[in-house]
Structure 1
Amino acid sequence: MDLTSDDAKAAARSLRADLAEQGIAISHGAALELVAHQLGLRDWNTASAVLGRRDDDTAGLGAPVPILRLHRFADVRPFYVDYLGFAVEWEHRFEPGMPLYARLARGATRLDLSEHHGDGTPGSAVWIPVADVGALHRELRRKDHPSVRPGIDRDAPGGPTLAVIDPSGNMLRFCEAE
């Protein structure tokens, strides 16, 4: 089960109650901040933007998984795996020599990459929320990709954004929601 902001709020209530039993009083806001830090996030605002939410959708809709069209998976694999740090969850071909369809994952983000004609449009863009765009930027700068030198657009709609273009021309916009 993925952690939701409701789960994090419940954890903050439990933390506050446990501390109160030990004679330590903190505000609910302070408890939320502590839970966010325990989750490895900068603050509660970041946590509430990044964490999923539970709603009353009886159909149980999940997070969408974008399909990015590419020409050859072998050409983009080093970009996604070695540079961006995604892991290949699975790969599928109907038979040898047929186009590849693969799912990649990093954290809560899932991307499907497809060599199939008609799956997605080359040059698509995907907006991906991140807890700390500066940390991602530093990570990517250390890897020194030969053809990618991303910067952070601090005035981008939605918050500071780091944009990279994959070898097939698809744009990934990593945004730290404000």
Structure 2
Amino acid sequence: MTLTIPVFRSFDQAKVEEFYLGFLGFAQDWTHRFDANAPLYQQLSLQHPTHPELRCVLHLSEHHGDACPGAAVRIAWADLATFQQQLLDQQYRYARPGLETTPWGMREVRLADPFGNRLVFAEDLPEGA
């Protein structure tokens, strides 16, 4: 297995674009609708700018039953403090994520999307930190 792709439920494409594409910097890889009045299914991805091995791929679905709002995914990320500062610098109205050092030896940035899904960006702490 080379890549696991979680599916998140979504309800509003404008909010997907504002949060995932605008705020977090994801790219929209592709979209699919069975017809003009059907729910949207799409793939988004986020590539780490300096670590090409780090890439997050998500599927967002408006289809009833595809996923339950409130799901969570952990995303391995490097240089998390820089990423967190970039997010803060945007002064996004709906999220000002903190940088947490956990008792289990990681740094984490936790975010909730507009649909209640949770994204946890995480990196191991350096030795001795």
Q: TM-score, normalised by structure 2?
A: 0.87
Q: 1:156 to 1:88 in 2, by over 3 A?
A: farther
| Aligned ranges 1:72-91 → 2 under 5 Å | 72-91=12-31
Selected match of 1:162 from 83, 98, 109:
109
Per-residue deviation, residues 53-104 of structure 1 (Å, max 9, x unmatched): xxxxxxxx22100000111222222100010000000010011010000100
Aligned residue in 2 for 1:144: 91
Aligned residue in 1 for 2:43: 103
The unaligned stretches of length 5 or more in structure 1 are 1-60
1:119 and 1:156 mapped to 2: Cα distance? 34
1:80 and 1:157 mapped to 2: Cα distance? 28
- State the Cα distance separating 1:120 from its structure 2 match: 1.3
RMSD: 1.2
Whether the aligned pair in 2 keeps the contact of 1:76 and 1:168 (CA below 8 Å) is: no
* Residue-pair matches, total: 118
Q: Which has the higher contact order (CA 8 A, sep 6+)?
A: 2
Aligned residue in 2 for 1:44: none
Residue identity in the other structure for 1:161: E
| Residue aligned with 2:43, SS | strand
The unaligned stretches of length 5 or more in structure 2 are 48-54
- State the Cα distance separating 1:156 from its structure 2 match: 5.5
Residue identity in the other structure for 1:87: A
Q: TM-score, normalised by structure 1?
A: 0.64
Q: Which has the higher strand share?
A: 2
2:42 and 2:6 mapped to 1: Cα distance? 12
Aligned residue in 1 for 2:52: none
Identity of aligned residues (%): 38
Selected match of 1:92 from 25, 32, 38:
32
Deviates more, 1:99-108 or 1:71-80: 71-80
- State the Cα distance separating 1:136 from its structure 2 match: 0.6
